[in-house]
Amino acid sequence: MQLSKKLQNNKQKLEKYLASIGFASRRNVNEFLKTKKVTLNSKKVKIDTYVENDDILNIDGEDLVVELNPETEVLIYHKPTGQVCSNMPTDKNDSVFQGLPARKKGKWIMVGRLDVNTSGLLIFSNDGNLVNFLAHPSSNIDREYLCRVYGDVSDKKIENLLKGVKINNELAQFSDVVAVKKTSKSKNHWFYVCLFSGKNREVRKLWKTQKLDVNRLIRLRFGPILLPDNLKPGGWKKFSKKEVLKLKNILEIN
């Protein structure tokens, strides 16, 4: 029995492994395999294929060394404006992945996204379960941003954003809005805002409902993870083993 369990731990179904490294969910892995060119040790794969440690998995020309049950790693990155949260750069913009340290096995999986004009905290991990937990709405993790808003800001508009407004027929709201300066003669106003969701351009869209434009946006915090003051745009920091364990304890996950 012990030998059987050991063999199981040394093998894993391809669909489970692809989900664990962030390529596809187990629900859509069939579609993923139809649309991508995937080989294992230079052989075409099937849905019931098993992978083992140190196998070479090739996805659309990119080789990945299989690593089952890896030790969890976490990396934070200070995204500059102008970079895209995509695996591939565009003609005009670099990819955030170009600034990350290379991995010998597995891959970095990104937690959520920031639009091209937003800077600040991005989180990466090699642990798909941790990434899914951080990103999933049911985890109820708040995000904090520093934003510069252009226009006439009133107490009523702030109240509306805290009570909630409709965006695409869905209720959206800030959980907190704090002015950096209480009074200002300028048309630009700085605010700290928090919200418990990470939908596409949601901070900008929320202010837009009050006829206000965000012309600077920086993510400072994602749940218990903070953007360090000394981490410059384009810089990254890898968590120590102690920091990873502390994060998991805070989040109450294994």
Give the 3-state DSSP-derived string for 130-143, with helices as H, strands as E and coil as C.
HHHHHHCHHHCCCE
Q: Which two tokens stand for residue 150?
A: 């252009």
CA distance 152 to 48: 59
CA distance 163 to 147: 19
* Residue 232 · residue 78 · CB < 8 Å: yes
DSSP 13-26: EHHHHHHHTTS--T
11, 180, 209 from 125: Cα distances, Å? 22, 32, 34
Q: Which helix (H) or strand (E) holds 102?
A: none
Catalytic residue, chosen from 115, 152, 176, 213, is 115
Q: Residue 145 forms beta bridges with which residues?
A: 193, 219
Backbone angles phi, psi at 212, to 5 degrees: -125, 140
Buried b (16+ CB within 10 A) or exposed e, 114-131: bebebbbbbbbbbbbebb
* Residue 142 · residue 223 · CB < 8 Å: yes
Q: Is 115 known to be catalytic?
A: yes
Active site residues: 115
